[in-house]
Amino acid sequence: MTVGINALSGPIPKELGNLVNLVSLALGSNNFNGTLPDELGKLTKLRQIYIDSNDFSGPLPSTLSQLKNLSVLWASDHNFTGEILDYLGSLTNLTELYTTAQNDILVAGRLLRWVGPEGRPGWKEEPADGLGRSGLRR
């Protein structure tokens, strides 16, 4: 389901969790706000979720740990608080993670960190096992 780039606003309804056959959820580039509903954890067939460029706040729900088929998670340009939860490391199919959290990107199992602006800006590869310790704060 794709509703990106539509200037939609308001909270995400918890009833979205009833769409249990979704494999892709693209909510990016809108004006959604509030916290993500725990019911997103019911979307166990989900492979891709794009929640970037919205006004979400609060922590990522721990129920996302149930999304074992998830391979793509884009969560940049947000107002999330807390830390990238340790369970993200247990999502063994996750190959692409994009957050503004310390400017980390996980691509094909490689964690890349933006280093800059001091010195020469650029991407530096780091061990992906540090995901549980990266903060989600901007």
The percent of residues in the chain predicted with pLDDT above 70, rounded, is 64
**Total structural domains in the chain?**
1
Is 1 part of any domain?
A: no
Instruction: Give residue-wise pLDDT tens across range 5-15.
Output: 899 999 999 99
Token pair 């884009």: residue:
74
Is 138 part of any domain?
A: no
Is 45 part of any domain?
A: yes
User: What DSSP designation does 46 have?
Assistant: -
Range of the domain at 62: 9-133
Name which residue leads in pLDDT, 138 or 115: 115
CATH number at 97 reads 3.80.10.10
Number of residues written out for the chain: 138
**Tokens read off for 46:** 């989900």
Is 71 part of any domain?
A: yes
Lowest model confidence (mean pLDDT) among 20-34, 59-73, 109-123: 109-123
The distance of Cα 133 from the centroid of its chain, to the nearest Å, equals 15
Question: pTM for the whole thing?
Answer: 0.72
Is 100 part of any domain?
A: yes
106 DSSP β-pair partners: 97, 111
Is 57 part of any domain?
A: yes
Place 132 in a pLDDT band, splitting at 50, 70 and 90: very low
The percent of residues in the chain predicted with pLDDT above 90, rounded, is 41
Is 83 part of any domain?
A: yes
